[in-house]
Structure 1
Amino acid sequence: MKLKQANSGSEVDERLAALMTNGNAIRVVTSAVEGTIGPKGLDTMLLGSSGEVIITNDGVTILDKMDVDHPAARMLINVARAQQAEIGDGTTTATIMAGGLVGEGVNQVIRGVPIARVIEGIRHGVALALEQIKDRAKHIFDIQDPILHRIAMIAGREYSDIAQLVIKAAGLIGIEKLRESSFKLSEIIFSQEGAENEVFMGVIVDKQRLNQDMPVKSSQAKVLVIDDALEPEEIGDEALSTEAGFKRYLELQNEFKTNVHKIVELGVKVVLVDRGVHNSAEEILTDAGIMVIQRVVPEELRRAADHVGARMIKRTGLKKDITNIASSLGLAKNVYEDEKLKHIRMLGGAGKPMATILVGAATKEVVGERQRIAKDAASSVQAAVKGGYVPGGGSIEIAISRDIAKTRDAVKGMAAYGVDCVIHALRRPLAQIVENAGYNPLEKVEDVIAAHANQNKDSLGIDCDTGEVIDMMTLGVVDPTTVKLHAVKAAGEVAIAILRIDTIIKKKEE
């Protein structure tokens, strides 16, 4: 009997140890990004094994570049990546709330609350939070609404030049295009050392001409886009060693040159190629005065094809007759190489109108960070156009936590302790924002809760310059609704998944 009791106790201790281990891993990940949130948030320096350095305030970049082995920590990082992929912003908020849910959930289990009841309460609280956020959303009907500039400024970390670029591009693109699910404003952003800030209608291909003897620019240019290598079909070494194989090799070489000459006959002025270009093709096209750009990344190749109205073809497509090939060509009013910035610009395409945001950077060290900031700003602006906005600065989470707290008594049994976890997690963003600003988070959170109750306003937060309670809407501090919705939903899902882990077993090697 004693042996059984010992084993039973050991099993309980082991399961609690698994929960504690996972909770500690989540706490480490959360601490890596929590210092960056809010207007007074600081930067993080990431050091690579070969000496490379990244200095950033971007939560998903920090999480993505962290050297992490713990499976629970990787789960949280994957949630941040999903938030970035889906919305493009709010990763730090999602991480902090997930950390708050897990941490408080562990505390409740240690106190004796069954894990099933904690999870039940978290599900209930998260569902209520999502409903409350949707109910409080304010919508945007005009692309010129000044609130969009504030959203760009906040997500763009108060870089006014970047915010202006994003708003200008949004105006050029229009509200209907921004609402399309397949379009992402953040994908039109480029950042280059030495460039001037610029927004223009057209696309950038971040490559140079294949050689310097090709023309630098072309107008009213027919454009051919090859989603393949511009090279002859290959023959294996073994087949090439035979007389029949060598004969076939010569046939393929001649056929390839004939196909390349079709490009010249069609009057094509610009050729974009996904992969490499054979020497014979380069020579023929150079002599014909055609600009060739090789090894174009797939995303840029697709954007260029869409803009000029070209249908991408494979190299085998060049075997078809000239009339068929001609139907796949696009057209651009101007194509030229910016020799200073070392990229190709394609303007006035006959296909889909497209805008490009070019963000300048003084040095190569800040190019990546400037681009990340601009992408965050663009993602937030588009998210607000799609789903509206709510008060920011942690204020909306405080309001929702108060409403959920009022319903706590109606929750059956010990699931109420799981609801407490959600209330705690919703108050974490404001607590961390004011802590990063140098104030006591306990004091300031209670000040805001009291102000919400006294003034019956759900937009009250803390001015990080003065420490005073202020209306975030008056201050112009707002967040896209979808950012908040996805952050709360993602935090709840990962917290439940981690809290459900009862035992950790090392898997044998297959």
Structure 2
Amino acid sequence: MGMEQQAATKGDENEQLATLLHNARAVQAVATAVEGTLGPKGLDTLLVDEGGNVVVTNDGVTILEKMDVRHPAARMVVRIAQSQQAEMGDGTTTATVLAAALVTEGVRQVQRGVPVARVIAGMRKGIAEALRLLGERAVPVRGLDDPALTRIAYIAGREQADIAELVVEGARRVGETKLRDPDFKLADTVVAHERAENEVVAGVLIGKQRVSRQMPERVTDARVLIVDDALAPESLDEEALATEAGFRRYLELKEAFVRNLEKLVRLGVRFVAVDRSLDPAAEEFFVDHGILAVHRVARAELRRLAAHTGAVPIKRTGLKKREEDLARYLGTAECVEEDPRLGRVRVTGGGGEETATILVGASTREVTGERERIARDAASAVQAAVRGGYVPGGGSVEVAVARELERLRATMRGMEGFGVDVVAAALRVPLARIVQNAGFNPLEKLEAVTAAQVESGSDALGVDCDTGEVVDMVAAGVLDPAPVKLHALKTAGEVAEAILRIHTVIRMRRDEEGDG
């Protein structure tokens, strides 16, 4: 190789290392913003926007989503938290911290002279083995009365006992079959309100008030209609309305619309929920006939209402059906009433699936938002544990898995072993951050936990963040849902690999149409 080629190769390597270092610093900066929230002694973050609006939170994904993050590698880490939230609903901070640790340790190995490809190959093996070892350690939940569920909700709910009890009660009311349904999220049943008392509602809360104050506040033994559309007469364009024939057609459509509404009265419909707007003619008709109606209801709430009442949503054209056919689309509810204190409508005693709404109370608007986030995390953790079991928490099980990876490393030849070292080092970071946030020396406590685990043969030993003593996390009730940890490590590994593969960063030009 000539001198010019050697210089070019060296320059290329320097550029790649500079890019890696730059990306690693950006990733670590993002992780630093959330790692202070880890563990029972983690503190809150105050977020302030340009208008002076304030959010006080301990929730990793909320912090990351509201941060002004511009660096492309850092944005990739933010997407880890979003993916973790979408799939698991919990563990976003852990996923972020693990990703940053994997990138940082990976760059450290590259700086030592290990080729990036070998580091990545070793990381893949290490993560695959770590996922296997974590999965083996998962303990199944023994039904919804298992005391472990309350402890899981308590830990994920940042040690707020009232929220933990609410979430577990809500889970029991929903039932194990529903919790295992991949399309159901217990976190979606959580509602917080600053004027509410903690309560598990045996039904659905709709975040709307009745359309008119003249409508009844409460109806019982109601048949329920759900309109997945606007509830209004068929429309004509303005040109048609400008003609005499068009105006006659408009009157005919309006009369037909009212005749269709009369079918609802004969069918005993007392409650109507509408996806979009409710026409004034329909509003007047419902007031005259004692029908309670809400409109512009969120799609997620309509789905839950349909499941609970057994109603099948229809379009407005569905009202043209014969009464006996239309009846098959109706659901039932024992009681529908507006709660003026909350500004919401309660639907209970539905003829479909049993469901629940976890209503969390708070003192102020800011606290309400955080209490809702905490309850959603707890609900997600409980559901994940029901589906996939739990493991010792507090970072203890990750330290145990890291020790197992070191044994694997001792049997490996070649540079891929350095990639396994990366994973083992990253797995120790959660415990280190937790004890650091509690005011202890992370190196000292890591050594103490590692030695105690080796001596006792227990993977459950971790650090009591109040005393600093090494204790059994399972005996102390510090439990984490296994699927949350598995997904966090898997996602962190994928994104860390993608970042380590980046050779250089090039700004894309903006095309003439303005598309990025």
TM-score (norm 2): 0.96
Amino acid in the other structure paired with 1:385: V
Matched, 1:309 2:330: no
Partner amino acid, structure 1, of 2:238: D
2:514 alignment partner in structure 1 = none
Match in the other structure for 1:18: 19
Shift of 1:158: 0.7
Distance in 2 between the 1:182 and 1:9 partners?
A: 52
Whole-Å Cα distance in 2 between the matches of residues 257 and 431 of structure 1? 68
- What letter is aligned with 2:452? A
What are the equivalent positions in structure 2 for 1:406-445 lying under 5 Å apart? 406-445=407-446
| 1:467 corresponds to | 468
The match for 2:162 is: 161
Q: CA deviation at 1:49?
A: 2.2
Conservation of the 8 A alpha-carbon contact between 1:214 and 1:289 = yes
In the TM superposition, what whole-angstrom CA distance separates every residue of 1:192-232 from its partner, at most 9, and x where no partner exists?
11111111311111111101000000010111110000112
How far apart are 1:405 and its partner, in Å? 0.3
| Larger displacement relative to structure 2 (84-93 or 217-226) | 84-93
Q: Secondary structure at the match of 2:474?
A: helix
Q: Distance in 2 between matches of 1:22 and 1:82?
A: 20
Q: Distance in 1 between matches of 2:144 and 2:257?
A: 51
Please give the secondary structure, in 1, of the residue aligned with 2:290: coil
Question: Match for residue 238 of structure 1?
Answer: 239
Question: 1:255 and 1:21 mapped to 2: Cα distance?
Answer: 68
Residues 271 and 292, structure 1, Cα contact 8 Å, conserved in 2: yes
Give the distance between the partners of 1:177 and 1:9, measured in 2 at CA. 59
The residue correspondences of 1:322-401 to structure 2 (distance < 5 A) are 322-401=323-402
Deviation (angstroms), 1:453: 1.3
Q: How does 1:17-166 map to 2 (within 5 A)?
A: 17-166=18-167
Paired with 1:3 and 1:416, the residues of 2 have a C-alpha distance of 33
Contact 1:34 1:92 in 2 (8 A): yes
SS in structure 2 of the partner of residue 327 of structure 1: helix
Residue in 1 that maps onto 2:493 = 492
The answer as to whether partners of 2:173 and 2:354 remain within 8 angstroms in 1 is no
CA distance in 1, matches of 2:352, 2:195: 30
Provide the C-alpha distance between the structure 1 equivalents of 2:393 and 2:110, rounded to a whole number of angstroms.
Answer: 32
2:179 corresponds in structure 1 to 178
How much does 1:117 deviate? 0.4
The 8 Å contact of residues 118 and 418 in structure 1, kept in 2 or not, is answered as yes
Does the 8 A contact of 1:203 with 1:307 survive in 2?
yes
CA distance in structure 2 between the partners assigned to 1:252 and 1:178 by the alignment? 45
* Distance in 2 separating the partners of 1:348 and 1:507: 57
- Distance in 2 (CA, whole Å) between partners of 1:73 and 1:334 is 50
Q: SS at 2:391's partner residue?
A: strand
Q: Give distance in 2, aligned partners of 1:136 and 1:476.
A: 16
Q: When the two structures are superposed, what TM-score results if normalisation uses the length of structure 1?
A: 0.97
Deviations 1:460-501 (A, max 9, x none): 111111111111111111111111111111111111111111
| Equivalent residues of 1:25, 1:70 under 8 A apart | yes
Q: What CA distance in whole angstroms lies between the structure 2 residues aligned with 1:180 and 1:285?
A: 37
Q: Is the 8 A contact 1:271 1:290 kept in 2?
A: yes
1:307-365: per-residue Cα shift (whole Å, max 9, x none)?
Answer: 11111000011112222111111111111001111110011011111111111111111
Q: Return the alpha-carbon distance in structure 1 between the equivalents of residues 57 and 212 of structure 2.
A: 37
Q: Quick one: distance in 2 between partners of 1:364 and 1:442?
A: 40
Q: What runs of 5+ residues in structure 1 fail to find an aligned partner?
A: none
Q: Is the 8 A contact 1:196 1:360 kept in 2?
A: yes
Which whole-Å deviations, capped at 9, do the CAs of 1:38-93 have from their partners, x for residues lacking one? 01000011112222111000111111221212221121111111111111111111
Aligned residues: percent identity? 55
1:199 corresponding residue in structure 2: 200
Question: Against the structure 1 CA distance between its residues 135 and 4, is the aligned structure 2 distance closer, same or farther, given a 3 Å change threshold?
Answer: closer
Secondary structure in 2 aligned to 1:40? coil
Secondary structure, in 3 states, of the residue corresponding to 2:329?
coil
Aligned partners of 1:252 and 1:205: how far apart in 2? 31
Q: Is the 8 A contact 2:90 2:377 kept in 1?
A: yes
State the 1:4 CA deviation.
5.2
- Supply the distance in 2 between the matched residues of 1:283 and 1:4 (Cα, whole angstroms): 84
Q: CA deviation at 1:5?
A: 4.9
* SS of corresponding position for 2:177: helix
Q: Deviations over 1:259-317 (max 9, x none)?
A: 22322232211110001111111111111111110111001111111111111000011
Corresponding residue for residue 220 of structure 1:
221
Cα shift readout 1:91-115 (whole Å, capped 9, x = no counterpart): 1111111110000111111111100
Check conservation: 1:264, 1:285, Cα contact below 8 A.
no
1:246-325 paired onto structure 2 within 5 Å: 246-325=247-326
Q: CA deviation at 1:116?
A: 0.3
Residue 8 of structure 1: how far off its partner (Å)? 3.7
Displacement of 1:7 in angstroms is: 4.0
Match of 2:459 in 1: 458
In structure 2, what is the Cα distance between the partners aligned to 1:450 and 1:506? 49
Counterpart of 2:129, as a letter, is L
| C-alpha distance after superposition, 1:138-193 (max 9, x if no partner) | 11122211111111110011111101111212222233332222222111111111
Single out whichever of 204-213 and 319-328 deviates more from structure 2. Answer: 319-328
